[in-house]
A and B are shown apart, each in its own frame.
Chain A
């Protein structure tokens, strides 16, 4: 790593205008503009548009400043909506900052999505050239790396078939292979490892490590803390559009986990609105991924573990204990309930030494969003502890369908496996 600063960000801000009319699309209809102007002529007192108060400024980034030196590999972390993607979009020149200044030295390539610009009608070969050009490679560059790309993607046999006939795995592999062979001075990567199977993810991570070792500067966004810690030396934590911590990656990750594994805004002990006898009380909740590592957010389609920490004030074994966890959407509507009654796991006896119970979810079917949860426990038919809206947790995009298509936000909150096929109506 040299001391040369290659990215310098000062007082960066980005504001979006948010319309409060939820139904209203982001773009304007010419018809409305004309109608408003016309109404303005009639009601001369109120010449300009109808309701200016219906929109509000939202700062996706505010007063962000940092420097990146040549050869540094920086992990950018934060919860959903913390401004990570906006930052990457500004750095890769897709959108303009509203405030502040960014200065960059060297050629930047950004990989915000796997397979941007892939066209299903074109062959694998054509798509390699197309995608390469979109990512900023020259034809000559692609030609020299062509064989390497094909070998990495393992699609040599299907090179001249349209990619619409590819399996989703092949599609993702090809798309990543092209991007992995970019050789810019600065590489900006957003959550691309969320797709593909585990084997391929490992391969991609290896490739990313090579890139980082090659002395290039990398900015990397991921929700997989393991990958981030593996790859990056320094980290940058964003919360609500501001930088809250920078420094060695271990410290930043630790800070992030401490901050965000805390699912409740106020600790359960301080809650005055809990109900129940208190024979058994919840003391904390921890989210873990399938390996048991504590995580800040769960991933769609991945295994998840919810750990309910308990306090047993009486320190006695309890009879006939039931637990339930309700999950709410952002409107507070109950979406689903996990309960020992449903899973047949009621505890006829719960030992005095039990300090936590674990809920295992083999495959999370929630779409990316923030959810609230309610905790419930009963002992011997009596409510022992009931905390409504105990806290919130985040679900991040994951490759639920195994097709590389991450479900976007705003398309419903539940994911269900499904297939489509053409045919005549089923006759029974």
Chain B
């Protein structure tokens, strides 16, 4: 038994309690809680990764095969058939693959984050934890696929005898940007998908559409040059900035710059704009997610 150390009775004030629950009350300790639950975050991410690769015998092979085949098709169509140029002297296949890495990460993060809440409905209705953990760990799970397909890139670089330059050191930075770019819309879509259960039918379309809008199969330099050629220097640059509003444009250009070395120039104003938009999306995503998460347990 715990001895009665404190037998004072006093009017209970808020300060005495650690936690107050009220309607519409913004959680004061939200971010602290998120930090406290970091282990759960890691464990959920590890669970999803290990389940993913345990369930299918060809799990890892599939993660390797899918981007590889896509890369081959895109190289054949866009380079051989359409005759688009690569970045500098870099092999077209490597150029495509350098973009496919962040794009696949982005699209699979979006898809799995949006399903994550519904998939973990029983957790949400039975235990408290900051709900942000669920889509965030889904994004981390997609990162596992990213790391695996990175092996293909290394293989291709050896095959083509294409050595990276010091630019490769900046890659972790661009990976971080890719995380931000995926998490923002991911959170937004996750919350939407809890509320509007038919929203998931829209996601594959968005992903398909994005694949062609983003400079995955071709280089953004092609777009930039075409714009400058037909609209003149000034207007062309401005329209390219509009193109860079898409945060994935910045991420993909960053990846190419860092993997292809000097072959792929980076258009800095465009890159920073992408970065800014990605940041805004992240804030927007967090805002909307937090706004709706309190009712998740009631509607899921």
A79 vs B267: C-alpha distance in the bound complex, in angstroms? 68
- Does A165 belong to the interface (CB within 8 Å)? no
- Does A167 belong to the interface (CB within 8 Å)? no
Please indicate which of the listed interface residues B47, B123, B127 has the most CB atoms of chain A within 10 Å of its own CB.
Answer: B127
A116 vs B123: C-alpha distance in the bound complex, in angstroms? 6
A138 vs B39: C-alpha distance in the bound complex, in angstroms? 7
CB pair B50–A126 under 8 Å, yes or no, is yes
A26 vs B23: C-alpha distance in the bound complex, in angstroms? 21
Q: A3-B9, A122-B50, A133-B40 are in contact. Are A117 and B198 (CB under 8 A)?
A: no
- Does A247 belong to the interface (CB within 8 Å)? no
A104 vs B29: C-alpha distance in the bound complex, in angstroms? 14
A2 vs B10: C-alpha distance in the bound complex, in angstroms? 13
Residue of B nearest to A13 (CB): B23
Q: What is the 8 Å Cβ interface bit string for chain B, positions 8-38, against chain A (1 contact, 0 not)?
A: 1100101011111111100000000000000
Q: A121-B55, A122-B50, A129-B43 are in contact. Are A103 and B20 (CB under 8 A)?
A: yes
- Does B196 belong to the interface (CB within 8 Å)? yes
- Does A95 belong to the interface (CB within 8 Å)? yes
Closest CB in chain A relative to B46 CB, distance in Å:
8
Q: A3-B9, A8-B17, A27-B195 are in contact. Are A99 and B23 (CB under 8 A)?
A: yes
CB pair B47–A130 under 8 Å, yes or no, is yes
CB pair A29–B1 under 8 Å, yes or no, is no
- Does A89 belong to the interface (CB within 8 Å)? yes
A135 vs B19: C-alpha distance in the bound complex, in angstroms? 18
CB pair B4–A2 under 8 Å, yes or no, is yes
CB pair A102–B20 under 8 Å, yes or no, is yes
CB pair A112–B127 under 8 Å, yes or no, is yes
Residue of A nearest to B199 (CB): A30
Q: What is the 8 Å Cβ interface bit string for chain B, positions 112-134, against chain A (1 contact, 0 not)?
A: 00000000001111111100000
A1 vs B2: C-alpha distance in the bound complex, in angstroms? 7
Residue of A nearest to B200 (CB): A30
A133 vs B43: C-alpha distance in the bound complex, in angstroms? 7
* Size of the chain A interface, CB-CB below 8 angstroms: 56
A27 vs B198: C-alpha distance in the bound complex, in angstroms? 10
Kindly list chain A residues whose C-beta atoms are within 8 Å of the C-beta of B230: none
CB pair A95–B297 under 8 Å, yes or no, is yes
Kindly list chain B residues whose C-beta atoms are within 8 Å of the C-beta of A65: none
- Does B51 belong to the interface (CB within 8 Å)? yes
A213 vs B1: C-alpha distance in the bound complex, in angstroms? 6
CB pair B197–A25 under 8 Å, yes or no, is yes
Contact residue among A98, A103, A134 (Cβ-Cβ distance under 8 Å from B14): A103
Question: For chain A residues 104-143, which have a beta carbon within 8 Å of chain B?
Answer: 104-106, 108, 110, 112-113, 116-117, 119, 121-122, 126, 129-130, 133-136, 138-139
- Does B5 belong to the interface (CB within 8 Å)? yes
Contacts from A to B (Cβ < 8 Å)? 1-5, 8, 16, 25-31, 33, 70-71, 89-106, 108, 110, 112-113, 116-117, 119, 121-122, 126, 129-130, 133-136, 138-139, 213-215
New A-B contacts (10) at CB < 8 Å, excluding given A5-B12, A94-B126: A3-B7, A93-B21, A94-B124, A94-B127, A95-B294, A96-B295, A104-B19, A108-B19, A112-B127, A134-B123
CB pairs A–B below 8 angstroms (5 shown): A2-B4, A29-B196, A93-B19, A96-B23, A103-B20
Contacts from B to A (Cβ < 8 Å)? 1-2, 4-9, 12, 14, 16-24, 39-40, 43-44, 47, 50-51, 54-55, 122-129, 192, 194-199, 202, 294-295, 297-300
